[in-house]
Structure 1
């Protein structure tokens, strides 16, 4: 089995207009897309939709749900200027639990023959608007942080649209780390988000332990997001409503 389990924490550090830091415990699934339909075989409570209690659902991710997810990921990478992946693709995401899924961001790692990422597709979802935007990242960038990518979708009402994203990936045999820096128009840090995960080899026993420790991943993320939103509002952080206009597709592709 090439799929993996992940456990760790996500840390948010806001620098302006107020300083705030919070840590959230998190569990994620690293599903090899070629094992879609087989990874959960033999696990009665796991699958890819109803009536399973925990599931990774096709409809929660990019593209036409009638097509295989791998085909949609390959197409999106090509449309953003990348090369079609020839090797494995791993989806890093939180599963739905009791019919509810919430993934602020999922990642698709296109792996080369050595198992090293050659491209990373970040699938960003906003709440509660139900919109989705993908960003193509180059993990082989010569700098520690990938070149900044212009923000193309409203995500948090406590962050303006005039931001750019810088990413850094730490891919190791036993750990996975991802850092996102939100930068202002003059390149000053506004928010840093770091994901630090321990890799756990896939097995029936490991999946049972993971499920006991993370029974409600989406619900936990939802509660954490809205609790922090309330805290920011109470501290007077400016509120940015959802913009009515969207960045032109041509401009988005140029930036990505």
Structure 2
């Protein structure tokens, strides 16, 4: 059933994107003749920074498999450009409430293009006001899987953090293990590093984003800059999933069919991780009875709006 749904969604999105691509030149001409922009995410340049770079994936076990592809991202100041986004993402105030910060919120994401949006990971950079300066304090990860259309969000420390794996993001990975994450402050360049630490396979997977800022003077039109970018990400995901299947990597069914309590188990593992970081982890593998002071990542699971962002 999921395979049929996936095939149907690919065909439907292809038709929509082809139609909108044919209309794109007319939309650009219309935008150039108007003082206000018609795009649902694009703006007049205020609060919008463009980045171009490379995403690199490496799987070390049970076989060696790696690939990379070019990506283009938008870094959006949600306080200045909240009108640029659809309801698929948090507002600046919502992000501040979740992260417990008081300063600027910037969202790193791939904007929708010709009717389609594909973001395996979007990041909110949440700053804290300290005297006359603003310091990056927390990040919110927004992880979306495909083709299941699910999303999990949680706050993490950008300097370095570890969280329990809380979403079935690949049909070739089980739910065991942790995500280790690190994100640099966006400037002329940025980087995001995520590794998967597995109890049996060790640190067997790594994903790295490295990108450089692109001058807006070099981009004649933002719609052209991001044209088919979400589609290219989806193609790379499905193509390399096919190659893993072709190489006989065991297929892992979504845990909702085999273990409906997988979310609760992920939250429990995360609590143990944070007990370890707090120095309160017992040799029995349990937190102390009074674990009210243990801070967990507070995962929030939702359904992503289709087609998945």
Q: Secondary structure at the match of 1:123?
A: strand
CA separation in 2, counterparts of 1:226 and 1:150? 25
Per-residue Cα deviation, 1:15-36 (whole angstroms, up to 9, x for no partner): 0111011011000000000122
Aligned residues: 220
One of 255, 262, 277 as aligned partner of 1:243: 255
Per-residue Cα deviation, 1:140-187 (whole angstroms, up to 9, x for no partner): 4xxxxx232101111111111002000122336311011000110257
One of 77, 91, 108 as aligned partner of 1:92: 108
CA separation in 2, counterparts of 1:85 and 1:31? 17
Over 6 Å off, 4+ runs? none
One of 125, 129, 139 as aligned partner of 1:109: 125
Check the 8 A contact 1:92/1:107 in 2, yes or no. yes
One of 205, 212, 217 as aligned partner of 1:198: 212
TM-score by length of 1: 0.78
Structure 1 250/227 Cα, relative in aligned 2: closer, same or farther at 3 Å?
closer
- CA displacement at 1:135 relative to structure 2: 2.4
- CA displacement at 1:70 relative to structure 2: 1.8
One of 232, 237, 245 as aligned partner of 1:220: 232
CA separation in 1, counterparts of 2:134 and 2:194? 23
Q: Secondary structure at the match of 1:227?
A: helix
Check the 8 A contact 1:8/1:197 in 2, yes or no. yes
User: Which residue is equivalent to 1:20?
Assistant: 65
User: Which residue is equivalent to 2:89?
Assistant: 61
Structure 1 72/100 Cα, relative in aligned 2: closer, same or farther at 3 Å?
same
Structure 1 187/26 Cα, relative in aligned 2: closer, same or farther at 3 Å?
same
Select the structure that is richer in helix: 2
Matched, 1:74 2:96: yes
CA separation in 2, counterparts of 1:159 and 1:91? 28
Structure 1 150/24 Cα, relative in aligned 2: closer, same or farther at 3 Å?
same
Check the 8 A contact 1:91/1:106 in 2, yes or no. yes
Check the 8 A contact 2:113/2:223 in 1, yes or no. no
TM-score by length of 2: 0.65
Matched, 1:34 2:50: no
Unpaired runs of at least 5, structure 1: 39-47, 49-55, 63-68, 78-83, 141-145
Check the 8 A contact 2:164/2:267 in 1, yes or no. no
CA separation in 2, counterparts of 1:240 and 1:35? 43
CA separation in 1, counterparts of 2:152 and 2:269? 10
Check the 8 A contact 2:47/2:78 in 1, yes or no. no
CA separation in 1, counterparts of 2:203 and 2:114? 37
Check the 8 A contact 2:114/2:227 in 1, yes or no. no
CA separation in 2, counterparts of 1:27 and 1:210? 11
Q: Secondary structure at the match of 1:168?
A: strand
Kindly report the root-mean-square deviation, in angstroms, between the aligned alpha carbons of the 2 structures. Answer: 2.2
Structure 1 24/96 Cα, relative in aligned 2: closer, same or farther at 3 Å?
same
Matched, 1:126 2:145: yes
Larger radius of gyration: 2
Unpaired runs of at least 5, structure 2: 1-45, 272-295, 298-309
